[in-house]
Structure 1
Amino acid sequence: MFAAVQTPLVTSLASPTQNQPIVTVLSGHLDHAPAGDTVRLWYGNRQVKALLSIAGDFKMVIPGLGAATDASFSYARQRTRLYLSPGDQLHLTLDFGRFDETLKYTGRGAAANNYLAQMLWRFDAAHPDPGPEQQRTPTTTPAQMRSLTDAFRQRQRAFLATYAAEHPLAPTFQRQAALDIDLEWARLLLDYPAYHRYAAKQAAVLPATYYDFLQQLPRQQLNEQATREPVLRFLSAYGGRLLPDGPLPADPAEARRLYAIATADLGDHQARDWAMYQLLSFQLNDNVAAVVAAYPTFRAQNQDSTLARNLRQMLQAQLRLQPGQLAPAFTLLNHQGRPVSLRDFQGKVVYLDFWGTWCAPCRQEMPALTALARHFAGRDVVFISVAVNDPEDKWQRVLAAEQLTGLGQVQLRSPDSTMPSAYQVTAYPTYLLIGRDGRLRRVPAPRPAAGAETVAALEQALKE
């Protein structure tokens, strides 16, 4: 499953001393996996990588794990959730062609992770138990949607209860798993109005009590776990509750109104603050004036100064990326190992593309990007593609296989997120248009697949 992101109560295998830190290990065997890629594990803000052997084996020692935590394991565009505790000696096996179906764990920590794997397979990955998203239709009413989601939650709760009765799950993990079921239930209900508006081509008529389900969520747990992925996913969907009909108006009073709604729904603590932070962050690219208007309210109301500081920094950076501002300078190596700078193309129009070989939507745009380069061949337009967080060998193979180095296409690689961060890139692919004078013209620019719209934007930039 491409992605779209857990502690047993156990005793130590050996009593650690000050000179003998607890060691946490994840190993595994992947049958029929594609060769030549890297196994990756994310936990918190850390990443551990290991090469997959020709036989399909890997092993990684996980440093700095001081407490139980959610994690994410990925290989070759497949991904699954993990739950790791200090001292776990976890071993996974799977058949890559049936990744979610065959995923199994043994060793210390297996009980919680097998629960997560079975939940994914049973209720998400292949949908042997169809969920509300598979059952809803354009004619589904709010009452019917509530019935579907309630029944789905009950099936998930029953599975958790049965599994916990048969396997040694720690009470802390069971509470977290129960919360995740409730969060998915709430997310499905939050998504329904937007789905109906899109599928039925009209807004759903919601009863006045529709959003009362939010009062059933455990606020204390939400606040304690506000930065976990399942909670953040729910809080992201909550933005549809606050802005059901479109972008945030550039009116300070609107931010105060939304804060009042969020406080009534979620309380006045971290979950509310993260919900507002996500909502305003998502508005930054296309609606910066509204974020400017809302920021004083966010700063006054927010109880986490780190969030306020982060939003302020992103807002300041975005203001520097408005049309007419100078594009941030950069120098990166191209596919031949030569340094290339933005200033090298002064006097030409630059169509700047941020992508990755790991990004399926990016790869889907490549034929249209090549056609666009062919259309403007011989004119003062340069197409610069910056691959982000890609191993050089894999990047080079994709460039060669898809013939992406001709017709005015400049291929660069950013080994980390430093350069994309200067352009406030938070999603991939992202496209920008830079004029002959080095100033931003379109932020973001239309995608290559937009066809005539993109050609028109480039033609206009050539005239300016």
Structure 2
Amino acid sequence: MKNCLAACCLLLSPLLFAQKFTDTGTIFISGKVTNAPKNYAEYSQTGFVDDRTSSFILGGDGTFKQAITIEGQTQDITFYLEDTGFTFTATAGDSIQLSWDATHFEQSFKARSRRPDADTILQGQWFLHQQIDHYFGGLQNALAQNKSLPAEEKFALINTAFNKEVEALSAAFPHHEATRQKLYTDLYYRYTHLLFSKRLLGQFALHYTASGNNPVDPGFAWQPQFKILNESTFWTHPLYRAFLFDYCRFAPQQLFTGVASLSPHRNNFPASAHYMGKSLLDIKSIRDWFLTQHLLLSFDSYNFLQAEAIYKEFRQELSDPFLKNKLEAGYTSSLTLKPGKPAPALALTNAKGQPVSLKDFAGKIVYLDFWATWYGPCIADIQANSRQLHQRYQGKDIAFISVCVGSEAGQWKEAIKKYDMSGSVNLYAPGGLDDPSVKAYQLNGVPRYILIDKNGKIINNNAPFMLELVMSTTNEIDEALAR
């Protein structure tokens, strides 16, 4: 039976209002920046399938005025202001005024909306922005430094921080219904998502514990239920959509870890998550959104041929024009990295400033590693496994090429020495994710590994981590060398 609670289900809530993915709206942003270090301001806006980053020019006196088209009637906008980013919710028709002094941003920043309800939410979001490092950031640091804590103690840390944020929000904005609904729901899903990422959700659930010193408006103690699928929340809360996406993809793995599965999709994540989403999500708009999102991610992050097979099946079922266009565009773009296609050109420089091209390694297998000096998983894989991997294939027709992305050149050169990366051909992408050589590989994040054959054609656009290669008796590199 579909959607039984024992199977970690999502239940259907009443439909409060209808929206479509093709709905759009316009918001108007204006204001002034004093002592601006540059003549433009950057921002990003959430979308149903992807986020978009843009910018606008500041006038000579620091003033600006910009109309921004949003997907749907409500979306989040993030302004990148000096050394931080401030995210606020905008509804179609909103007129928002921003101002700040770049030399002391936190003390001078002001945000106002002409609509009273929207203005109160805006002030609440700025209030939470100022608190986030203290509560949520401090919590993440504590969890990172105490990884061996028992599950009960980890949950206690998370639930305590959640309660403190709720109390602070309640004290700052008492008895305001719109603020309560929007900001409390965002808090709930931000902390619930963290519970899930720590593999605690299901075993524990957030709950509000009243404090005698700071009693909270009872409305703030209202508890959303993550297992109840809520369409109105889906359309208006990007944080809910982010939680929902991860929950539907990975919750079964958390529930059934260690259990041998007879499913034909056990080693096919694009298919297993696809059919899990179909079984869990009873609202068609949300189900189609999830399946589209999952496939777009699968093209870039999992076995392409497995994802392609699901795509060919699902595109016949998908009727929403917005989602269908996004899915077909994503598939067409990803075809450049399909196994068997020629690998895109790679033209970068090494630590000596010498140009290096992918053509220099014709006749060799190439294991291409995109990484960053600041990202832990990249460093962990390099430190623990790169030397062992290089030794295993010493003298074989294979080149290990490491491309540093999104890091300062000085930090990159230091890291090469620090982590003893002498077994790799070390290259630097000065343009980060926007560097032409990186964009050609459609990089959305690091680490990312690409395996290329002796003829310069892609074997796997999502090759195994170094750890997986080291741990396996026979792997994709061995198979490629044997051909």
Shift of 1:409: 1.1
Structure 1, 176-185 or 153-162: larger mean CA deviation = 153-162
Could you tell me whether the CA contact under 8 Å between 2:248 and 2:277 is conserved in 1? no
Q: Distance in 2 between matches of 1:384 and 1:108?
A: 47
Please name the residue that 1:109 is paired with. 111
Structure 1, 372-381 or 431-440: larger mean CA deviation = 372-381
**Percent identical:** 18
Shift of 1:434: 1.9
Structure 1 residue corresponding to 2:167, chosen from 154, 158, 168:
158
Shift of 1:60: 8.3
**Change beyond 3 A, Cα 1:25–1:400:** farther
Please tell me the residue identity of whatever aligns with 2:139: H
Please name the residue that 1:286 is paired with. 302
Instruction: Show the 5 A alignment for 1:297-308.
Output: 298-299=314-315, 302=318, 304-308=320-324
User: How many pairs align?
Assistant: 390
**Change beyond 3 A, Cα 1:316–1:363:** same
Could you tell me whether the CA contact under 8 Å between 1:72 and 1:82 is conserved in 2? yes
Structure 2 residue corresponding to 1:259, chosen from 278, 282, 298:
278
Could you tell me whether the CA contact under 8 Å between 2:343 and 2:452 is conserved in 1? no
Structure 2 residue corresponding to 1:125, chosen from 112, 119, 137:
137
Q: Secondary structure of the residue that 2:341 maps to in structure 1?
A: coil
Q: Distance in 1 between matches of 2:108 and 2:162?
A: 28
Please name the residue that 2:241 is paired with. 231
For structure 1, the residue ranges without an aligned partner over 5 or more in a row are: 1-20, 30-38, 51-58, 95-102, 197-202, 207-211
Could you tell me whether the CA contact under 8 Å between 1:348 and 1:380 is conserved in 2? yes
Kindly report the root-mean-square deviation, in angstroms, between the aligned alpha carbons of the 2 structures.
5.3
Please name the residue that 1:436 is paired with. 454
Structure 2 residue corresponding to 1:82, chosen from 87, 108, 112:
87
Could you tell me whether the CA contact under 8 Å between 1:255 and 1:297 is conserved in 2? no
Q: Distance in 2 between matches of 1:286 and 1:278?
A: 13
Structure 1 residue corresponding to 2:365, chosen from 341, 344, 349:
349
Please tell me the residue identity of whatever aligns with 1:222: F
Please name the residue that 1:275 is paired with. 290
Shift of 1:189: 6.6
**Change beyond 3 A, Cα 1:138–1:283:** farther
Per-residue CA deviation, residues 221-261 of structure 1 (Å, 9 max, x unaligned), is 42144xx3553244323333466558956798995674353
Could you tell me whether the CA contact under 8 Å between 1:242 and 1:258 is conserved in 2? no
Please tell me the residue identity of whatever aligns with 2:280: I
Q: Find out whether 1:426 has 2:432 as its counterpart.
A: no
For structure 2, the residue ranges without an aligned partner over 5 or more in a row are: 1-27, 46-51, 70-74, 90-94, 113-122, 206-223, 258-262
Per-residue CA deviation, residues 341-379 of structure 1 (Å, 9 max, x unaligned), is 322211112120112344343344444576358635665
Q: Distance in 2 between matches of 1:128 and 1:396?
A: 29
Structure 2 residue corresponding to 1:399, chosen from 413, 435, 439:
413
Please name the residue that 1:388 is paired with. 405
Please tell me the residue identity of whatever aligns with 1:43: S
Please tell me the residue identity of whatever aligns with 1:343: K
Q: Distance in 1 between matches of 2:390 and 2:276?
A: 50
Q: Distance in 1 between matches of 2:274 and 2:481?
A: 39
Q: Secondary structure of the residue that 2:132 maps to in structure 1?
A: helix
Q: Find out whether 1:333 has 2:348 as its counterpart.
A: yes
TM-score (norm. length: structure 1): 0.62
Q: Which has the higher contact order (CA 8 A, sep 6+)?
A: 2
Please tell me the residue identity of whatever aligns with 2:77: D
Structure 1, 250-259 or 343-352: larger mean CA deviation = 250-259
